[in-house]
Every structure is written in C-alpha cells, then in structure tokens.
Structure 1
Amino acid sequence: MVSVRVLSLLGTILTAVSMQPALAHAGQVGSAIATMHKQDSLPRVLVLATGGTISGKADTRSAIGYDAGAVSGQQLIAGVPGVEKLAQLQVEQVSNIASQNMNNQVWFKLAERIRQAFAKNEADAVVITHGTDTMEETAFFLDNVIRVSRPVILTGAMRPSTAISADGPANMYEAVKVAADPQARGRGVLVVLNDAIQSARGVSKMHTTELQTFHSPNLGVVGYVDPATVRFITAVKPRQPLALPVDHMLPQVQIVYGHADMDARQIDDAVKDGARGIVIAGMGDGNVSDTALAGMERARKAGVVVVRSTRVGSGFTNRNVEVDDDRYGLVASMDLNPQKARILLQLLLANGKTTPEDIQSAFQAGL
C-alpha cells in the first residue's frame, strides 16, 4: 500500500504540474500589462513623412542612382530597430516627394498639422522626415512660424533605404531620441543627422554626397546625440516667431546670383515680374558690380525690398562695408544664406514689415 504521506506528496506534485500553464499564462499577461504601462508612459511623437532620400530606393541608372520618396513613413519606422522603446509613435504621410519639389503648400500643411497636434495635445513632439536638398529651408520656415515650445525635429538621409550602410535608420532613431528628450523643449525647430543636433537658422547642406553634409558654419552645432545620450551645449534662446499667413500665401521674392561681369537684367526682370523682394546672392561680403548696384537702386525706387546675402558658404554679410546700405536703403542678411534670407523676407512682407529698418532689425533678431 502507498502511504498517506506519499499520496499527499504525489497530489501536491500533480496540482503544481497542472497549474504550470495557468501560472505561465498569468506571468505572460502580467509582463504584457507592465509593457503596456511602460509604453503608455513614453513621450508621444508624431512622425510626419514628406519623402526624400530617406524614403528612397536604388535605381539602376547609376551606381548611386535612386528614386526619392518610394517608401512610406510607416515602412520607414518599421525599419528602425528599438525606436518603439523611445516613444509612442504615430505616423502620417504628408507628402512623398523628392525635396527638390518641396513647395509652399507642403510647408503650410506641415505648419498647420503641427499646430493642430499641439493645440489638441495629440503629441509631445514632432519628427519630420525630409529630403536633404531643401531640409534647411523647410526647417527655417517652420522655425519662424511655430509658436509652441514642444520639440520639432527634422531628419533625413544621404543614402536611400536600400543602399549599403543606409544612414536613414540611425538618423531616424536619433531624431526620435532628441524629440523625446525634455532638453529639446523651447529650442525651436532642430535638424538631427549623423549624431549632430543643429539649429534651423544655422544649418546648411554643405556637400553634395557626403554623409556629414550638414554643418552650421556661422553658429555651430547646438548639441550631440548618440543611441545612449543627448547632450546640448548651448542655452535655450528667446524666440519671436512670426504669424503664419492666414491665406497660406507668400509674397514673390526672387534670388539673383552674383558673378563676374554681372549686369542688372535679372534684377530689372524681377521687378517687372512683380517681385516684392529681391535677395542678392552676392560675391564676397554680398558685393555686386556697379551695374547691378544701379539695378538694385532702381528696384528700391520701385518699392521692392532688396536684401544683400552672399554666395560664399560661410561668414556674415555685414552692413556698410563695400556697399553703402544706408544710402541705397538695402538690408544685409547677416548670417543667413540666400535661401533662408528669401524665406525670412517672404514672411516679414506677409506680416506687414516693409521698411528696410524693420526688416534689418528682424534679420538681426535671431542672433
């Protein structure tokens, strides 16, 4: 006969064995609930995809040929390992274009969606995926019209998603990491690529194909990021955003490129074509020929605002150096390159700023 003690022990063992699946299931449920709670506590990041190289696919036309905007934002996020541990992500496709086709309509769509997302508390931060060719322009436009302190980050890639050693996933991961970091608040729109955090005002694309193409030659980087850390090395500065034009229209402003043997035909043509502003991408410190300067004087007399910038990759365009800005009623772009000077002038004109004095003050306000 089997003793009572043995039977009791056997019963205990059988009971424990029979409960193992339930206990395992309970453990799995508990772990899932804990994961859900942890996920719910993460910052909410809205990803607005616009296309660009980061969403590109290789093409056979050359060894480095590719078609931009061939991958959706959702597919892009799915290819970034671990990004879901940084934030709760919501992805929306605003456009899917190469950034050379970026336009005012997409800018306004982005600005309005960001404003709506923050006003309705849908997100704690926004990340925008964008092509590199005009990234600095989109960033600068948004930086001048977004009035909230929540982070807005632009990122992209120099290699398409199908390339060997594609840089998009790492840039996307680090952009989300910066967006989710409390230190990013109040800094305006930032650009994050290749471990560097740069301001919308300072950043420029400086190389046609190099991965480390983005630099801030006049203002320097504002911080650094890697998979482990976010480090800002500059203080938060006060910002004075401009009103977003309610009609979603920007005045016509033309850029005229300076060169040897420069005449005034493009300046005169811009005036005839109805431009309200002209930005000169001048030589050196924003210099032009005497013939072109005479054209700029005619433009001013016709009521057109004229801003002197420079075609040189770095340095300030200062007032009254070789050109007497006071005499001709011209504006010096300071640190802004021609493409950013154009955007700021468009926004100032749309906000009713038309005198050289007011416009010059606005160009210097962001420094």
Structure 2
Amino acid sequence: MPLEKLAATVLCAATLTIGAAPAWAQQPAPKANVAILATGGTIASRGANSLALTDYGQSVGLQPVAIQALVTAVPEIQKFANITGEQLFNVGSSKLSIDNWLALAKRTNALLATKEVDGVVITHGTDTLEETAYFLNLVVKTHKPVVLVGSMRPSTGMSADGPLNLVNAVALAASPAARGRGVMVSMNDVISSAFGVMKTNTTNAATFKSPDGGELGYMQNSEPFFIASPAKRHTLDSEFDIGPLQSLPRVDINYTTLGSDGVLIDAAVAAGARGIVNAGTGHANMPHATMASLVTAQQKGVAIVTGSRVMTGIVTPTSEFTKAGFASAMMHSPQKARILLMLALTKTNDPKEIQRIFNEY
C-alpha cells in the first residue's frame, strides 16, 4: 500500500476512535420527571360492572381509586417519565370548591418551582375540568407543561378511556415541545388549550372540543404533534398572583331566558356578589327587567360582564352596555368569564380595566 494511502487510513481510523460514539454505545436521553396530582373524578371511579358507564363512583357507594393504584394500573406511563404522585383530594369535580382550586394551584406552583419536576399532570373530573384548566392557566407561574386529564368512563367500564388518556397526558407533560403553551387538556388524543376547550357532550368520549379557537395539536402513538400555540396571555405572562390569596371574590352567573326578570340578580347582590356575569341571549341581549336589575347592581358597585348562553361566538362591547358601565365577555363562556372576573376583581373594579383584562386573556 502506498505510504500516502496508509497514512490516510490511519487518520480515518483515529477519527472514528476519538469522534462520536457509535449509535449502539450512545446513552438514551434522561427521562423527564412528571408529578401527578390526583383530584378524583371519573378516571378514579369504579362501577358495579363493565356496563355501568353513567352510574358509578361514590354516588352508588363505591370508593374511588387512589393515585398509587391508578399509577400502578397504567405501567406504560413509566416509559415516558419518572413518576411521582400525590392525592390532593378525591371527589367528583362537580363537588370541588374555590378552596380546592387555591390549594391545587399553590401546590402546582410549588412543584414546578423546583428543578426536580419537569411537568405536572392533574387527574380531574370532566364536569368542571375546563374551569379548573382555565383558572390554572391564569395563575400558574411556569413555562413547564401542565396537563389536565380525565375520562368519560369509569376505570371498570368496558373500553375505559382513562388509561390511554393518562399515558398521553404524561407523555405530553414530559415533552419539551409542550413548554410555553399554557395549561393544556389532553383527552381522546386531542391537545386543547385551557382558553378554548369546553365540554360539549354529557357522556361521549369525544366531548372536549374547542369550537372557536381550534385545537393545539394531537397525540399520535403517545407523541404530541402541535399545530398551534395560544395567543392569549397565560401562566408566566399573567398579571394575577394567588400567592397571598385565601379566597376569591364572589361572582355569580345569571342565565337569561325569554321573560327573565331580575329576581336572581337581586338575590346575588343580596348574597354579597361582587361581580355578575349575565349569560344573555344571542349577542348578550336580555329582557328589560334583567337589564334594569343589572344597572341597579352596577350602581351599587357590583362589576357586570355581559356574555352569551350561545356556545360559540364573540361578544364585543356595545354602546348600550358600555354606557351602563358593563364589560363584555368577548370569547369567554359564562363559566370562564366568571373565573376571569373573580381574578380581575382582586386587582380592580374599574369597568375599563376589566374590559382590558377580558380583551387580553
């Protein structure tokens, strides 16, 4: 072999020796650390048999599944992350309270402030899952993923959706691609933003949809594929701080129907409501009697936000309501407008400032 070729061969071999390790010798990337906070709900419920899909849980005398049993039942989650679990409470989400919200949010913030936790998954009942997700979206201070997950069928049900939903939620919370997207909901292979998601069907597994804003992405083979990011302010960009709060101002919702009067509005004011969201017809329209009671409430210092009982669409300010000192809910459903108004009232009672908040969040 010519000397030049021999030298080139030796140099090439040396390069292979001191360069990157071959694929078989490379170490896998370390798994993320994901904390699961359990709050109860259908995902942790048992039915009397595999066909008991709507009559289950503590209402029929069956105790819920604790977090450790839930994690043990789905060992596949260990593929995506190192798991720790905490049982904060174990109740159906229709029974949760504002105190539960504050405890959940403060614990989530505490966990995510540490270097040991890369993401949080919250198991939750579906009845108020969209409300808890939106509340956390406004008060959690992190870019790390926070994912809410539940199920529409109990753990004992035929074709139970909870196990795969939980695997997908953990995989999503462990993914670096999920950072900075706000609080998310992972259900039925769909990734939704806390801002836009709503429960649209009482029992169907595909109940969670975002009819106006669209989905953030989809889970395929437990891998997230994102197609969008939320444009509204959230998490670290939010101005709201629950650290010093022990409670939230009372805000009630008045549901408008043909012939409604102001009796329920007057009762809310008497009960100490500091804010009222009126779920009007169409573009926030309402009967004269309803309007009269809202005007009286506003004159007493109660903040009024006009929204709509219609599932989709935007409620922009109108001159009639602006002159009365009302703010408009914009694209917030009545239940999410209530959450945002409660937090807004911790900072201001000025209708113009409240409108600014509804525009930005």
After TM superposition, is the score higher than 0.5? yes
**Partner of residue 3, structure 2:** none
1:49 aligns with 2:11: no
Q: Tell me if structure 2 keeps the 8 A contact 1:217–1:315.
A: no
CA contact under 8 A between 1:186 and 1:236: conserved in structure 2? no
Which deviates more from structure 2 when the two are superposed, residues 294-303 or residues 65-74? 65-74
Q: Which of residues 314, 322, 338 is equivalent to 2:334?
A: 338
Separation in structure 1 between the aligned mates of residue 52 and residue 185 of structure 2, nearest angstrom? 29
Amino acid paired to 1:125: G
Partner of 1:13 in structure 2? none
- Please report the TM-score for the alignment, with normalisation by the length of structure 2: 0.87
Q: How far apart are the structure 1 equivalents of 2:279 and 2:355?
A: 17
Deviation for aligned residue 1:62: 6.1
Which runs of no fewer than 5 residues in structure 1 stay unpaired? 1-33
Give the match's secondary structure for 2:120. strand
User: SS of 1:324's equivalent?
Assistant: helix
Write out aligned runs for 1:348-363 (5 A).
Answer: 348-350=344-346, 352-363=347-358
- 1:235-294 alpha-carbon deviations (Å, 9 max, x no partner): 364533211151321001111110011001111111122110001111111111011101
| Partner residue in 2 for 1:15 | none
Partner in structure 1 of residue 9 of structure 2: none
Tell me how far apart the structure 1 counterparts of residues 100 and 267 of structure 2 sit (CA, whole Å): 28
2: CA distance between counterparts of 1:163 and 1:355?
Answer: 50
Alignment match of 2:181 (pick from 164, 174, 187): 187
Are the aligned partners of 2:53 and 2:154 in contact in 1 as well (CA < 8 Å)?
no
* SS of structure 2 residue aligned to 1:263: coil
Which has the higher mean CA deviation after the structures are superposed, 66-75 or 275-284? 66-75
Structure 2 stretches lacking a partner, 5+ long: 1-24
Q: Cα–Cα, structure 1 residues 118 and 64, in superposed 2: closer, same or farther, change >3 Å?
A: closer
Task: Please give the root-mean-square deviation of Cα atoms over the aligned residues, in Å.
Answer: 1.8
Deviation at 1:59, TM superposition (A): 3.5
- Relative to structure 2, which stretch is displaced further, 64-73 or 110-119? 64-73
Does 1:58 find its partner at 2:47? yes
What TM-score comes out, normalization by structure 1 length? 0.85
Could you report, residue by residue, the CA deviation over 1:338-365 in whole angstroms, capped at 9, with x for unpaired residues?
1110011001111x22111101111110
Q: CA shift at 1:107, angstroms?
A: 1.1
| Cα pair distance change 1:111/1:312, threshold 3 Å | same
Q: Give the secondary structure class of the aligned counterpart of 2:342.
A: helix
Counterpart residue type for residue 334 of structure 2: P
1:280-327 per-residue CA deviation (whole Å, 9 max, x = no partner) reads 11111111101110111111111100011111111112211xx71221
Distance in 1 (CA, whole Å) between partners of 2:335 and 2:87 is 26
Identify which of 210, 222, 235 aligns with 1:216. 210
> Per-residue CA shift, 1:166-213, capped at 9, x if unaligned?
000010000011111111101110000011000001000000000000
Pick closer, same or farther for the CA change 1:228–1:67 going to 2, 3 Å.
Answer: closer
Equivalent positions of 1:203-242 (< 5 A) are 203-235=197-229, 237=231, 239=234, 240-241=237-238, 242=240
* Distance in 2 of aligned mates of 1:232 and 1:282: 35
CA distance in 1, matches of 2:93, 2:222: 30
Map 1:315-334 to 2 at 5 A.
Answer: 315-320=313-318, 324-334=320-330
Q: Which amino acid aligns with 1:349?
A: L
- Which amino acid is the alignment partner of residue 83 of structure 2? L
Partners of 1:109 and 1:265 in 2: CA distance: 34
The higher radius of gyration belongs to 1
**Percent of pairs with identical residues:** 41
